[in-house]
Each structure stands twice: as C-alpha cells, then as structure tokens.
Amino acid sequence: MQNFFDFTGKVVLVTGGSSGIGRATAEFFGRCGASVAVSYLKNQAGAEAAVSNIWSNGSGLSANGGGAGVAVGVATECAIAIQADVINTDEIRDMVMEVEGRLGPVDILVNNAGSLVERLKTMELTEERWDEVMNLNARSAFFCAQQIIPKMLEKGSGVIVNVTSIAGRNGGAPGSIHYSSAKAALLTMTKGLAKEYASQGIRVNAVSPGVIDTPYHETFTTPETMQNLRNSIPMGREGRPDEVASVIAFLASDAASYLCGETIEINGGLLMD
C-alpha cells in the first residue's frame, strides 16, 4: 500500500515555522522525510529548535529531486532556519533564493505566518495597525506564493497550503476584526489561486484552525475566555498543533490529489459546514 505521508525528496517551506502550528508542521514534514525550510521573524531559538528536532528525528540528510544548483541524488541539508520578514517582498525573494540554493526548488509551500498583533475594537484600530495585520496575514501569503509558483510551473507540479482561521468564517472574538478580515481574504485568495493554477499542476488548498493550544492564545486570550471556548467545543477541548499539521500534510500529499481550492475546518466541531 502506498505511504501517502512519505515526502522523501520533497522540499517544504513553512513560513512562521518557529512555534505553534508552523513548528508542528515543519517537524511533521521532517519526520516524513522532507527537506524543510523554517522561516521566522524574531523567534530564532524556536526555529533552530525545530530544525534540530528535524535533524534528530528526520532523515538527517535528504536526497532531493534536483533543482537550480542542486544535482539529482546529492545529499543536502534536511532542515534550515531562515530569518525573513514576509511583509517585505525583497526579503521574501531572498528567502526563496536561499531555500532553492540550499535545499532545491520548493515543492510544498505552507503559508502559516500571521498574527493578531493586538486586540483592538473598531474605534481603537488605527490605519497603521490595520495595514500591518492585513499585510502579515494576507499580503505575505500572496507574495510568497507569487515567488514560489514559477519554479512549480517549470516542474508542472506543486502544492500550496494556506493557514487561515475560524475567525475568517465567524468574524472572530471581540477586538479581532482586522485579523478576521485578513484571514477571510486568505480563504478567498486560496480559491482564486486554485482556479488559476489547477490546470498547470499546482494545487492550492487551506486549513482553518479553530481553538488550538498555541502561543496565540497564551498571548491574546484570558484563561477565563479560554475555558469558555472549551465549553463551546463539542469535543470538549482545544486542538493540538500536530492535529493541524497532519491535515496540512494530507493536503500536500497525493491522497488529496483531487482536492483543489478547498478549506478544511479543524475545530473539534465548533463550526460545522
């Protein structure tokens, strides 16, 4: 039987991969044999820890499928950490060039970078903060995809998985309209990219996590609110980052070969469609 979670020879780029869902995703792909690039903005320690775990638990060295400057079958690094501000298109370009030079062309892009930054009600929300959150959560995903897609087109294959949020479907908690609007844009962007590139071998899908046990809630959600959220979830608990990572890996695998433009809700039954 085919092992759909064997990503040996694949190069994966995870943005915002230093903690939470991003880190769990990077480490999951590493355990499945992929060569993984973990991008981060400030949390260098988290990114380097993820890379160390991949080296320890993954394949150690990965023989990739070749690419610009990388010969077929040549052992390369199996995981690297790259600092990049994905709001900045120049830094996105440099990040992708470094990944291609050290690991090979990207086969799987996971657009995970994003943050609420801070909770602000409508009358408190400044133009600068609105732009920052929209840029970090939505603009970054588009321009990362734009930078990656040309090499995917050359190969005739590739996968992009965007990490949106239940907030993009239900408007989010009070003080998060900027974040929920950005995540809704990402959901729509997923469909637009999928329609444009499906016929050229590139599949674009998304995951929409609900309440997941990550540093996000440690920062932005009070313990009382967190307990109220748990009480509203049919499964009675928050999700784990690895439970999101496994669905991202499914979408990147051939098991999802006919899924295109889809967003999978991962929320323990909190929101059902």
Q: Known catalytic residues?
A: 179
| Strands 79-83 and 108-111, bridge-based pairing | unpaired
Q: Which residue has the tokens 């959901």?
A: 187
Q: Which of 84, 86, 83, 64 is nearest to 74 (CA)?
A: 64
Under 8 Å between Cβ of 171 and 215: no
What residue spans of the chain are helical by DSSP H? Answer: 20-31, 44-57, 89-102, 127-134, 140-155, 167-170, 177-197, 215-220, 223-232, 241-252
Q: Which residue has the tokens 């991003």?
A: 22
